[in-house]
Amino acid sequence: MPADARRDFVALVEAALAKSVRRIAFADFARAGREMGVLTPQEITACQRGSKLPDWTLAALGPAQDVTTADGLARTDSIREPFGPDSPPAHAVIAPAAIAPAMTAPAAAVAAPPVASTTAAAPPVAPADAAPDTAPPAAATAPAAASRALPRPAVASHGGPLRLSVHNHNRLALAGDAVVPALSNPRAHWLIPRVRAAEGVPHLTGHTIDAVVEGGPLFSHFLFDAVPKLLALRQRLDPARADHILFTSLRSPFHTETLERLGIDPARCLTREEHGALFDVERVTWVRPLRRGGKTSAGLYEAVRTLFGADTATGGPRRIYISRGKAKRRRLLNEADMLPALARHGYEVVNFEDHGVAGAARLLAGAEHIVGLHGAGFANMVFAPATCRVTELHGPHCSAEYRDIAAIRGMPYDRLDCGRGGHDFAGDSFAMSYSDVTVDPAAFAALLLP
């Protein structure tokens, strides 16, 4: 790889960081790296989906901070009264030697000083009126019932004040000159000086819950990564009573519908998409991921089913074809050729974006077979009975997410590879994800139930 091309890429990253660390988008770095030819397919995917810059880029930006770690130091597994007088000591921090060389490991167990503001902060966001931190007694509501299907979550808490950087896997929490390890990722240490120096960071008073997850604008990631965190947290405190909740994005109808189901006031929610990735907070709670690499317990999907009433829904068509006819990318180009076979075999063509999440749960309540092209609509398969067969068509792009969901729920699963249409994508995850697909009509008809 030409050294000057790498230097140009590093210069692009540095310019973006200098302009605003609050607004950097790692997906933009991935696109630029692809166009400049400096990132491998693996590096493109890691940058796009995991907010991870390659090691050679990080080395050029400056050495990573050397942080002493202590397992569980800032983590608590029980919240009796969050941040109140009877709360577990969850304010311990570890200081990187490069920032606070005088602070040693034994001294890390003391509370850190407030975050020093380098400039005038954005106007404070007022807390909710007299919103108590403790959860009310469990009630026979959908969120309360759903939370019982989940294990007690591992929670990282901090009494603050501190500065949060919520860049997906590069999340970072700074309490004064120290790093809170349970709220941070070691790969984010190169961000420390830039996060500390950032200007105009919103200041959130009261209690903030961090529900930012990778892929939060996408249906499946929001439903299976962000929502279960809030449901599990209900076993300890009611998220609806927090002063603020941070999300990745809340721009789609399914976001709005889900907040209503959870009883969360949208006025208390802030998004990384709208407000940037940095927040100064007084107190914060973060739930560790309940799903990693598609691996989780069946209880997570049962909790989502319960939240949207799938466990009590009845009726709906028995055979469903999931259409991506209204999608802007990854479409089935010859879908019209499949319609006669679908009609003969009694399949109903469904665009799930027309029905909402609870509507999808009702539609799938009695399904015996779901078939369609890989896409967000398949996330709704959790609302179908565990006996329902799932058939997934895919082209160049197909993650294992829905195969894993089927395996965890015990659903019969098969898939058809529709090929690459003669294209050599060389591992380019962007091009593969956007690529349209054509399926052989005879092969498709053979997938349908008689």
pLDDT of residue 212: 93
Sign of CA dihedral 222, 225, 229, 231: positive
Q: Can you spell out the DSSP letters for 181-230?
A: GGG--GGGGGGHHHHHH--S--EEEEEEEE---TTTTSHHHIIIIIHHHH
Query: What does the block give as tokens for 180?
Result: 């809170």
Establish if 67 belongs to a structural domain: no
Residue 229 belongs to a domain: yes
Are both 136 and 240 inside the same structural domain? yes
pLDDT score of 187 = 80
Residues 83 and 203 in one domain: yes
What pLDDT band is residue 160 in, cutting at 50, 70 and 90? confident
Residue 394, domain member (yes or no)? yes
Residue 127 has pLDDT above 50, yes or no: no
Q: How sure is the predictor about 395, in pLDDT bands with cuts at 50, 70 and 90?
A: confident
Instruction: Give the pLDDT band of residue 88 (cuts 50, 70, 90).
Output: very low
3-state secondary structure of 271: strand
The answer on 340 and 271 residing in a single domain is no
Identify whether 366 is part of a domain: yes
| Cβ within 8 Å of residue 128, ≥6 positions away | 206, 241, 242, 243, 265, 268
- Residue range 318-328: average pLDDT? 88
Residue 66: inside a domain, yes or no?
Answer: no
Please indicate whether residue 252 or residue 72 has the higher confidence score (pLDDT): 252
Domain that holds residue 39: 3-61
User: 235: pLDDT confidence band, cut at 50, 70 and 90?
Assistant: confident
Q: Do 164 and 268 have their domain in common?
A: yes
Residue ending a domain, among 254, 275, 307, is: 307
pLDDT, residue 68, reads 45
CA atoms within 13 A on the CB side of 179: 29
What mean pLDDT do residues 115-119 have?
35
Same domain? For 134 and 258 the reply is yes
> How would residue 66 be classed by pLDDT, with cut points 50, 70 and 90?
low
Predicted local confidence at residue 210, as pLDDT: 94
- Is the pLDDT assigned to residue 7 strictly greater than 80? yes
pLDDT at site 421? 61
Contact 53, 196 (CB under 8 A): no
pLDDT confidence of residue 425:
59
269 and 157, same structural domain? yes
Q: Which residues contact 38 (CB under 8 A, 6 or more apart)?
A: 1, 5, 6, 8, 9
Judge whether 133 and 82 are in contact, CB under 8 Å: yes
Most confident option among 54-68, 153-167, 271-285: 271-285
136 and 55 in a single domain? The answer is no
Q: What is the tally of structural domains in the chain? A: 3
Q: Are residues 261 and 378 in the same domain?
A: no
- Choose the final residue of a domain: 262, 282, 307: 307
Domain of residue 393, CATH code: 3.40.50
279 in the same domain as 343: no
Residue 211 falls inside a structural domain = yes
Assign 192 a pLDDT band (cuts: 50, 70, 90). confident
pLDDT score, position 111: 31
Flag whether pLDDT at 106 surpasses 60.
no
**What does the alpha-carbon distance between residue 327 and residue 317 come to, in Å, rounded to a whole number?**
22
Mean pLDDT computed over 366-390: 94
Against a cut of 0.85, is the pTM above it? Answer: no
Mean pLDDT across the stretch 292-316? 89
> Range with the lowest mean pLDDT among 143-147, 201-205, 345-349?
143-147
Q: What pLDDT, on the 0 to 100 scale, is given for residue 362? A: 94
pLDDT for 363 beyond 90: yes
Kindly indicate the confidence band of residue 428, based on its pLDDT and cuts at 50, 70 and 90. Answer: low
Across the chain, mean pLDDT equals 79
Q: Where is the domain boundary, 269, 286, 307?
A: 307
CA distance 308 to 261: 8
Q: With 50 as the cut, is the pLDDT of residue 71 above it?
A: no
Question: Residues of the chain with pLDDT > 90: what percent?
Answer: 41
Same domain, 57 and 80: no
263, burial (CB in 10 Å: exposed 0-12, middle 13-18, buried 19+): middle
Residue 313 counted as domain residue: no
- 162 shares its domain with 301: yes
Q: Is there a domain that residue 373 lies in?
A: yes
Task: Identify whether residues 273 and 411 lie together within a single domain.
Answer: no
